[in-house]
Structure 1
């Protein structure tokens, strides 16, 4: 039972380094794809926001909530 087409098999088999590196020959490709994804998440904006700003905003919100939680615990402990 074939899980993928013959053209995909030919493409994968034609990728250099099969004998020496085996399945690890695809690592540079995935490294470049990961770097491109990271670059796009930081630099591409949709409207007024991007992934980096959203992440930083969420991180700040979590910090504030954590500080409020600690203050509430301290107040309860003092009473």
Structure 2
């Protein structure tokens, strides 16, 4: 586990503090978000990706609403 001093030292080593301030970490989170999105699209767990499950669940909810409305 990292101590507070170790984390602070690591964060201080990220360049751009004078020019960008706290926003110097933005590219890291942008890449992290893109990587997560790629994983949700491309990586299969069993036979399905995240979006396969999402589409199926959305379709099931829509079908249930349609049955309730009739």
Normalised by the size of structure 2, how large is the TM-score? 0.87
- Unaligned 5+ residue runs, structure 1? 72-79
Greater radius of gyration (CA): 1
Q: Name the Cα RMSD after superposition.
A: 1.1
Matches for 1:7-22 after TM superposition, within 5 Å: 7-22=6-21
- Residue 22 of structure 1 and its aligned partner are, at CA, apart by 1.1
- Alignment-derived partner of residue 31 in structure 2: 32
Distance 2:17 2:44 in 1: 39
Cα deviation, 1:39-79, whole Å, max 9, x if unaligned, reads 101110011112111001001001101111111xxxxxxxx
What is the rounded CA distance, in whole Å, between the counterparts of 2:69 and 2:27 in structure 1? 45
> Runs (4+) of structure 1 moved beyond 3 Å?
none
Higher relative contact order (CA 8 A, sep 6+): 2
1:54 is matched with which residue?
A: 53
Superposition TM-score, scaled by structure 1 size:
0.78
